[in-house]
Structure 1
């Protein structure tokens, strides 16, 4: 019998940080693929290759599914697929760091709504001020479509965090991903497949999409699900406050996107708002999985 890898010795915050870096790296590497097959095609290819990798690592335990599991699994799969699709459509039009900051409004608002203190809802408003500084609408060259796609991705991101914790509490390891990513691929197929067929599918596109898929969704989403099993929504939402900074950093290093001083101020405001929105720690106890998967459901990886 193959044992399941344990993440108990790894701090959950470190897994969340690694996941954020992996997500932004994969998004920056996706830009060249987007130029060939579009944002929808790139997102769909990432999901398809993600399914292949996940099914090699963790066989989907379909027999362990219960009827009451299906709504959360379907919802998580759909929001995962469109979170990626909308965000890549935003990155196609606006800088990576700006897109991340706008998208961050989604989970920040969810973190505020999940809090018992209504006054914390002031922080999403402060973050919005930071986003205004980032987009600099007074220059008259703001890409409204790009902003709109990033906002739509943010709404999906907020829902993704909620459903990820629910599914992660029910399924051990990354077995939940092996069930939800196929749903994400099916949900985005009507958008992605036509772009892939009509795009410039040169020889390197498929290997590049496969490599990116290994980073996200496989590694990044797996780390997020493991982290959310041991963190509160508030703690995870607070930690997410550094993600816009990661977006700026990766955009600078990989895409040579240099922000202005005003945009740096906007990012700083978004980060401060995110950090101040919630304060919390690790979940007081490990979630109880009512019907955990058998030990043979996942394969140990080196």
Structure 2
């Protein structure tokens, strides 16, 4: 019974983490008319870095010498992922942005394997992307620049995963995230100041920015740590496959973003590709033993 409760708590933690992340993105999108995506990213990353330093106190385990290289590249990928994603959802619906961005980690999983079954997941993912690509003849066509920003954010997400693994081997997960977020803040905050100026210090903006930082970084990272201690990597990845749908629902509830049937189908194809890739990848070691 106790183990059952722990499992339910872990699953609830993952789901709540995804809800908070997409809720934070929805709030962030409401800041775009005031300070733009660049200013919103700067405040989110800046406040997130402060929160993570207070929680994880990374100054106790700073990398040395060449080890900083992996941390810096990881931080650049982290910052690029955040900025490009916000630039994307300023132009396209939140759920579609997340689905397109999801192609980054999906590509990492698929390129690491050489099995024929993976061709199916590639086909599903490509099918979803093709359905989301802008049809310039349609009045309701997606902004092509927004689509490109989302795909670029996915590429940064792939780099975030690859270099995050290297940087994570140098220190604890919390320390790595705090240092990576600090690197991201070092180049994103000046960009935000340049684009938004004194509007970043508005009394209307600061409370929302703190909420975005907490919902998008501090709280979900803590919840995911709880989950990872009690869930297998496979179970965690399967649950994460729900994120595009949760993002679409958050966009509908908080931003009144309506998606067409085709767009929902595209999101489901990307989710199916992620789910199938996760399950088949995890089964491979078991079959070989």
* Normalised TM-score (structure 2): 0.83
Show the counterpart of 1:18.
16
Question: Tell me, which stretches of 5 or more residues in structure 2 are unaligned?
Answer: 1-5
Structure 2 CA distance for aligned equivalents of residues 35 and 256 of structure 1: 16
Q: CA deviation at 1:109?
A: 0.8
Q: CA deviation at 1:227?
A: 5.9
What is the count of residue pairs matched by the alignment?
Answer: 274
**Cα distance change on mapping 1:143 and 1:156 into 2, 3 Å:** same
Show the counterpart of 1:3.
none
**Cα distance change on mapping 1:179 and 1:136 into 2, 3 Å:** closer
Structure 1 CA distance for aligned equivalents of residues 147 and 179 of structure 2: 31
- 1:49 aligned to which of 30, 47, 58: 47
Show the counterpart of 1:291.
none
- 1:130 aligned to which of 113, 128, 131: 128
RMSD: 2.9
Show the counterpart of 1:87.
85
Show the counterpart of 1:265.
265
Show the counterpart of 1:216.
216
Range that drifts further, 111-120 or 31-40 = 111-120
Question: Tell me, which stretches of 5 or more residues in structure 1 are unaligned?
Answer: 1-8, 285-302
**Cα distance change on mapping 1:198 and 1:93 into 2, 3 Å:** farther
Q: CA deviation at 1:83?
A: 0.6
Show the counterpart of 2:113.
115
Indicate if the aligned counterparts of 2:17 and 2:223 stay in contact, CA closer than 8 A: yes
Q: Deviations over 1:79-138 (max 9, x none)?
A: 111111100101100000111111111111111112352641442332221233245525
Show the counterpart of 2:180.
180
Higher-helix-fraction structure: 2
Show the counterpart of 1:297.
none
Show the counterpart of 1:31.
29
Indicate if the aligned counterparts of 1:235 and 1:281 stay in contact, CA closer than 8 A: no
Show the counterpart of 1:139.
138
Range that drifts further, 270-279 or 89-98 = 270-279
**Cα distance change on mapping 1:205 and 1:83 into 2, 3 Å:** same
Range that drifts further, 140-149 or 168-177 = 168-177
- 3-state DSSP class of the match of 1:174? helix
Indicate if the aligned counterparts of 1:174 and 1:222 stay in contact, CA closer than 8 A: no
Alignment of 1:244-283 (within 5 A): 244-279=244-279
Q: CA deviation at 1:201?
A: 5.5
Structure 1 CA distance for aligned equivalents of residues 193 and 122 of structure 2: 36
Indicate if the aligned counterparts of 2:241 and 2:275 stay in contact, CA closer than 8 A: yes
> Is 1:206 paired with 2:215?
no
